[in-house]
Structure 1
Amino acid sequence: MESGWVARWVPGVRVARGYHRAWLWPDLRAGLIVTALLIPAGMGYARVAGLPPETGLYATIVPLVVYALVGPSRILVLGPDSALAPIIAASILPLAAGDPGRAVALAGLLSILVGLLMLVGGVLRLGFVTDLLSKPVRVGYLNAIAVIVILSQAPALLGITLEASGPGGRAVALVAAVADGDAVPLAAALGLGSLAVILVLRRLRSPVPGVLVVVVLATVATWALGWDGSLAVVGALPPGLPAPALAGLAWSDVGALVVPAAGIALVAFTDSAVLSRTLAARRGESVDGSQELIGIGAANVAGGLLGGFAVSASSSRTPVAEQAGSRSQLTGLVGAALIVLFILAAPGLTGYLPVATLAAVVVAAALSLIDAPAMARLWRMDRLDLALSVAAFVGVLVVGVLEGIAAAIVLSLLAFVRRSWRPYRAELGRVPGLRGYHDLSRYPTTGRRLPGIVIVRFDAPLFFANGESFDDWVRERVAERPDVRTVILAAEPITAIDTTAVEQLVELDDHLARHGVALVLAEIKDPVRDTLARYGYAERFGAERVYPTVGAAVDAITGEFRTDLDG
């Protein structure tokens, strides 16, 4: 019993019990390589979130340890993320009112709320909530977040100080500052040079991460050449390990952060779940989405309690761990241990790390969020999905990160209703040389209707939003042909039917009967038939009006039985 409970809720213990000695070196190597990314990325994303750089390290250490115990994926690397940092900033900075200590406390509270929402979702098996953010919407808001992050870091990249707020204001102020010659040449050279090196090495698929190269070179150069006196640097980290930093909070802060926490939880889990499923499929494994919620939720709660902020799986660091040969959660534990060692043994090193180089690390990560090819595919494939993506993009930029994502979710649901309201529907007929019954619009010259019979197919569940349009469409098909005496509903695509649609179907049946036309059902799914029975219509749509196939219905109506290719 205890063993089963542990395996269910603490997957890391199960992995530890079955750990193979051959995994040790690959895990150690991967942990070392990933740490080289975790340290600068954590500090960089902390800056984007409006927090001290050390909080980015705290938000890495604790979640890595907790996820290693309760997370289902063996190689997912948790940590601060470029997609979450702007949302965190938008959520806490207005409440912090310029107080850095209060901002840290609010970020911790926000992380705890995010984690609690995820834990509740995991226990209630709500892993399906990721469906609320469709791929087009994700592409749109991630592209917008990339623009926001780039604009927020571009001044630091060039050594410029700006006071403007909002993406539009920052863009205008940045162009004006560059035109006025406000950029610091040394900072701009280091920032743009670091960005170029990272992008080139990424393009070349270098085994040595470009982030590690530029951080080491820029830090050594700043120390050796004394640039720390003329360049903005990150500054030495405060000594000590992560500790609680939740002082001065009130219940009103909880109320103010609940809605942002829900948005962050949705974004974090959606991105993490997609990455987790992709990696699991590549390795021939499976991942429990609800357990993923629990793992990431527990990591966020623990991180928030110990000075961190909300985190998710990283789409840049996790693939690096995979390519470096990671085999298990030990990779994350090694990373956490090395970050602790860095904080304790060499906190002063960041006193020589140029802010411009750190900004280049963040900008490079933000560029990886941009997915222009996806927009081009949407243009070719589905203009409605493209409109949703553009709406999410514009909404996040113009209205705000959280508001834009919320609006995009609402638009996605409306688009779903729109598609369900007017789904694809077809009148079926016979096509010479083909078995069965086919969409006549696909065979305009060779397809033919059956005398006295209309065969209709409605490719969606029947519910309150589309019941009337279904009724009207069938009536129109019948009105076009005075010879019709039977309507066959090819019901296989109808997976569900609600109260309103049941009543609409009965009204249609009564209408057709008054005009001497019989309605019969073919290929109806058992759950739909059970629903009709629960509403008291089992006798109305009895066995004599329900057929296993469209062909069986036609045979019964015409009194024929065919085995030829026509049907």
Structure 2
Amino acid sequence: MAALSLAGLLIPEAVAYAGIAGLPPQAGLVALCFGLLGYGLIGQSRFAIVASTSSTAAVLASATASIAPGNPQQQMMLAAGLVLLTGVLFAGAAFLELGRIADFIARPVLRGFSLGLGLVVTIKQLPHLVGLGKTPGVPLETLMDVGTRFPQWHLPSLLLGLAALALLFGLSRWRRLPAALLVMGLGILAARLFPQAIPDVALVGRITLNVARPDIPDLDLAQWERLGELALAVMLMSYAESCTSIRSTALRHGDTVDPNRDLWALGMANILSGLFQGAPVGAGYSATSANETFGATSRAAGMLSLAVVLIAITTLLPLLAFTPEPVLAAIVIHALAHNLNPRPILDYFRLRRGRTLAVSAALGALLFGVLDGLLLAVGISFVRTIMDLSKASVSRLGRLNHGHDYVSISQFPEAREEPGILILRADQPLYFANSDRTASLIRQESDASDARIVIISLEESPDLDASVVESLAELAAHLAGKGKTVYLARLKPEAHQVLSRAALKDLGEAALIDLSVDGAVHLARRHAIPADSASG
């Protein structure tokens, strides 16, 4: 039952997403078949359904249009090459065991991009919904064009599309019902039996399933190089969505999944789809969630869905040509309805974290197109991460309630500093971008204090690069010149090891302490007693 219900959702979505990608309907059906086959043979998740997705389709359309605008035949070849390279990148990432690559895209970026993508695709479907046909341009231009051409709207198309939308949302309460297939079937019946009731409504048209023999597109080196850059964006977007879908269902059911195995499966599916001129594939949110809801318990549901799809497209394909375009637009809009929920973005505003990334991703997709919007959002994410990591701050620590805990005095005014000892903590992990500024702050605190012993806690730094080692050497030399002794506390094994290898003149092995701050205080006092006694 899960397989039958799933096939009823996947067939109309495959045709619709092919249209989003700017490809003929057969490209979506080819991608659907090879996606189900590739993941069914190699993948591990019980619920993941690999097929064309709205996000990869939109990215593909934007990418090919930017290289060969106004040349559909060239765009077809470029699309096949892009899908093929996407599969090769997936396989390469699996070979290098880069299963966590999607972690480099922050969740606010994904949430914002998902909202922006939903708006972009929905806007692109509006011309079909109101009977204006395909409208070129970025989303805002399309929206303005549809609005200014209000007198030209085709009323029967609009009414048919709105009726299909209402029916889809009405049937959505019965999750096991193949609502998309039922609505598509009703649309086909209306077009075949009652054409006078919906006059001049545009139809999808004849769908030919002449599966080409596997072939590598004939492109020049410059085109392959450009496609390689774009394929990386498609791969990251596809895997980010796929990984999130797979992980979320696995967590809900206590399953374990191997990210690298999923990379192999996605690579195989995209390579096969590209060789046979299909669309890019991934484990989309809607299909994977639907498979779970329909009651699937193993990967057999996906493979049985493949069998149902093959039977349907070999026997019922001529009927799909009579699908009204407004009905297909309604199916796409309904499939993206979950993307249009702004609640995840509003949560970031409540947390006051991640809102810039989420809004940038959404606006980037709307203003600059899907591909450039994604790259912009990812770029902002990396810049924000680097800026956060490069911050430099130092806290003065004191003993809390005569215990063993040393805490920031600015946060706990009741904490007391140790007599004759200045204890400082570098609040960010030290690396080349913030080491000099952190050392300068420590120098300022030390010069302003009468303490002869300075303990620096490096608990936030798991490792130290060469720039940090040089900054610490200069700091230790400066403090030694002021007659102060420096100890480094809470050193992680890697940090201790690199400092030991450095053999710094003013930071001997005795000054490198793996212990807590409390242990460092006791050790420093024991070392200081002989020197104080001798001077006395």
TM-score, reference length from structure 2: 0.92
Distance 1:501 1:371, change over 3 A: farther
Structure 1 contact 114–297 (Cα < 8 Å) conserved: yes
Secondary structure of the 1:489 match is strand
- What corresponds to 1:111 in structure 2? 83
Q: Is 1:476 the equivalent of 2:444?
A: yes
Secondary structure of the 1:438 match is strand
1:176, distance to aligned residue in structure 2 (A): 0.9
- What corresponds to 2:530 in structure 1? none
TM-score, reference length from structure 1: 0.87
Distance 1:161 1:35, change over 3 A: same
2:310 corresponds, among 340, 345, 366, to 340
- What corresponds to 1:467 in structure 2? 435
Q: Is 1:303 the equivalent of 2:273?
A: yes
State the AA in 2 paired with 1:120. Answer: G
- What corresponds to 1:46 in structure 2? 18
- What corresponds to 2:470 in structure 1? 503
Mapping for residues 441-452 of structure 1, pairs under 5 Å: 441-444=410-413, 446-452=414-420
Tell me, in whole angstroms, the C-alpha distance in 2 between the residues paired with 1:273 and 1:132: 12
1:208 corresponds, among 150, 158, 177, to 177
Mapping for residues 187-336 of structure 1, pairs under 5 Å: 187-202=157-172, 204=173, 206-226=175-195, 230-241=200-211, 243-244=213-214, 249-336=219-306
1:407 corresponds, among 376, 379, 382, to 376
Structure 2 contact 42–265 (Cα < 8 Å) conserved: yes
CA offsets 1:256-310 (integer angstroms, 9 cap, x no match): 3111111100111111112112222222222222221111011000011112111
Secondary structure of the 1:368 match is helix
Structure 2 contact 477–506 (Cα < 8 Å) conserved: no
Higher mean alpha-carbon deviation, 256-265 vs 364-373, is at 364-373
Structure 1 contact 46–55 (Cα < 8 Å) conserved: yes
Tell me, in whole angstroms, the C-alpha distance in 1 between the residues paired with 2:481 and 2:218: 74
2:132 corresponds, among 133, 148, 160, to 160
1:213, distance to aligned residue in structure 2 (A): 3.4
1:100, distance to aligned residue in structure 2 (A): 4.0
Tell me, in whole angstroms, the C-alpha distance in 2 between the residues paired with 1:376 and 1:480: 46
1:449, distance to aligned residue in structure 2 (A): 2.1
State the AA in 1 paired with 2:458. Answer: A
- What corresponds to 2:385 in structure 1? 416
State the AA in 2 paired with 1:294. Answer: W
Tell me, in whole angstroms, the C-alpha distance in 2 between the residues paired with 1:207 and 1:340: 21
Structure 2 contact 394–442 (Cα < 8 Å) conserved: no
Higher mean alpha-carbon deviation, 457-466 vs 503-512, is at 457-466
Tell me, in whole angstroms, the C-alpha distance in 2 between the residues paired with 1:236 and 1:131: 42
Secondary structure of the 1:487 match is strand
1:89 corresponds, among 61, 64, 84, to 61
- What corresponds to 2:111 in structure 1? 139
Higher mean alpha-carbon deviation, 247-256 vs 414-423, is at 247-256
- What corresponds to 2:508 in structure 1? 541
Distance 1:344 1:207, change over 3 A: closer
State the AA in 1 paired with 2:93. Answer: G
1:427, distance to aligned residue in structure 2 (A): 2.2
CA offsets 1:18-53 (integer angstroms, 9 cap, x no match): xxxxxxxxxxx2111111111011111111111111
Higher mean alpha-carbon deviation, 217-226 vs 42-51, is at 217-226
- What corresponds to 1:174 in structure 2? 146
Q: Which runs of 5+ in 2 are unaligned?
A: 528-536
1:86, distance to aligned residue in structure 2 (A): 1.4
Distance 1:77 1:163, change over 3 A: closer
State the AA in 1 paired with 2:299. Answer: Q
2:424 corresponds, among 443, 456, 459, to 456
Share of identical aligned residues, percent? 29
State the AA in 2 paired with 1:479. Answer: D
Distance 1:380 1:518, change over 3 A: farther
Secondary structure of the 2:423 match is strand
1:533, distance to aligned residue in structure 2 (A): 2.4
Tell me, in whole angstroms, the C-alpha distance in 1 between the residues paired with 2:212 and 2:392: 54
Secondary structure of the 1:521 match is strand
Higher mean alpha-carbon deviation, 418-427 vs 466-475, is at 418-427
- What corresponds to 2:484 in structure 1? 517
Secondary structure of the 1:108 match is helix
State the AA in 2 paired with 1:337. Answer: A
CA offsets 1:87-106 (integer angstroms, 9 cap, x no match): 11112235455454443332
Higher mean alpha-carbon deviation, 464-473 vs 275-284, is at 275-284
Structure 1 contact 460–495 (Cα < 8 Å) conserved: no
Distance 1:33 1:334, change over 3 A: same
Q: Which runs of 5+ in 1 are unaligned?
A: 1-28, 561-567
